[in-house]
Amino acid sequence: MARLVLDNITKSFGTVQVINGIDLDIAHREFVVFVGPSGCGKSTMLRMIAGLESVSGGRIVIGDRDVTHVAPSKREIAMVFQSYALFPHLTVAENIGFGLRLANTPKVEIDRQVGEVARTLQIEQLLARKPRHLSGGQRQRVAIGRSIIRNPKVFLFDEPLSNLDASLRVQMRLEIARLHQRLDATMVYVTHDQTEAMTLADRIVVFNAGRIEQVGTPIELYEKPANTFVAGFIGAPSMNFIEARIDSSGGAPIARFGPASIPLTGTGNRFPPGDVTLGVRPEHIVFAEGRTPDFEATVEIVEKLGAESLVYLQTGFSADPVTMRVSPEHPVKPGDSLPLCLDRGRVHCFASDGAVI
């Protein structure tokens, strides 16, 4: 069983604390993705799990073993780096069998295991080549091969697809997902690409400024973000934020912004009067179509993406454009004035400190 437990992990560089008390329990065979903006501490956390970075405080447990101060090679982990980290002077076969060679494994056994891994990753025909003569995707496969051959309890991926082009990234994403299904291992994956996070993860951990903002399944994070940071970070295009004021004078709470008055579900107590931020996903802004519109907006730009179109709207109540997702067949064009409504059951309400109400 390869459960991974992070218990109150802290990390400081001098007087600067970059990881502030991370607690996380990752189950055996779980695929957990760390996401967050650059400098949020997600890669540092991964490197601490690998043992490449020392821990300032707290405990790391893999399986039943406290590995906090154990050497990286004894942690039963394997790591795939963003840069692939292949040795340029070694062939693909030598790169994959690198660890076995260091362990003085007999050559016959190294060849057998390398062949097996190469078959799994469909890179048998590349075994004699040097990394320089491989494409980005092939290099990444070799790097994954080197980690598979270790038969680790925990796989660590540090932004492994960042250097690949868009189409190859989708392909490799699929391969990593297949690999996870096939292998009996726990995987921790770091990325700043939230599409990768949403598609690969059993659970996503959203990091910000060395803290965990929220942990949950991709759908939980998308539908029930804990705060404005998670709400804004998860989902592409981002959630729209609208500054509003809660008015509970009439009993039921009403959010007012510009000309709009949106009755909110819930009691007056849950929505205390005052300033709030409303969060609305682009697909939850809809055409009024006969209903009384909540507000009117002017179309600024239309992005036609094929499967859908994104419409950027100018409104009287927000300095930033409001994004709306529409069907690609819709004949909307810049300059149109649109009567719009919010899908009221899907409006998120955040307090002034950013936390969801």
Partner 1 sequence: MERETGVWRLVFLALPLGVFTVLVIWPLASSFYYSFTNWNGFSDNFEFVGFLNFKKLWTDKLFFNAAVNTAIWMVAAVLIPTLLGLGLALLIDSRIPGGSVFKSIFYFPICLSAVVVGQIWIWIYQPDWGLLNVAIGAVTNTSPDFAWLAKPDTALGSVIAAWCWQHTGLAMVIYLAGLTSIPEDLLEVCEIEGASTWQRLRVVIIPLLTPATVVVVALNVINSLKGFEILYIMTGGGPFNSSDTLAMHMYNESFKKYLMGYGSAISVVLFIVALTIIGIYFRELKKVDEIYG
CA-CA distances (angstroms) from residue 93 to 99, 127, 238, 287, 321?
A: 11, 5, 44, 58, 53
Q: How far is the CB of 294 from partner 1 (least distance, A)?
A: 52
* C-beta closer to partner 1: residue 44 or 194: 44
* C-beta closer to partner 1: residue 13 or 87: 87
* C-beta closer to partner 1: residue 58 or 99: 99
Q: How far is the CB of 352 from partner 1 (least distance, A)?
A: 43
* C-beta closer to partner 1: residue 75 or 281: 75
* C-beta closer to partner 1: residue 105 or 314: 105
280: CB partners within 8 A, 6+ apart: 239, 240, 242, 342, 343, 346, 347, 348
* C-beta closer to partner 1: residue 103 or 355: 103
CB atoms within 10 A of CB 116: 14
Q: How far is the CB of 143 from partner 1 (least distance, A)?
A: 9
Q: How far is the CB of 160 from partner 1 (least distance, A)?
A: 12
143: CB partners within 8 A, 6+ apart: 80, 81, 84, 85, 86, 160
CB atoms within 10 A of CB 281: 21
Per CB under 8 A, residues contacting partner 1 are 50-52, 71-74, 77-79, 81, 83, 85, 87-89, 98-99, 101-103, 130, 132, 146, 150
Q: How far is the CB of 271 from partner 1 (least distance, A)?
A: 50
- 306: burial class by Cβ within 10 Å (0-12, 13-18, 19+)? exposed
Phi-psi region of 177 (alpha: psi -120 to 50; beta: other; left: phi over 0): alpha
Q: How far is the CB of 73 from partner 1 (least distance, A)?
A: 3
Report residue 191: phi and psi, to 5°: -155, 160
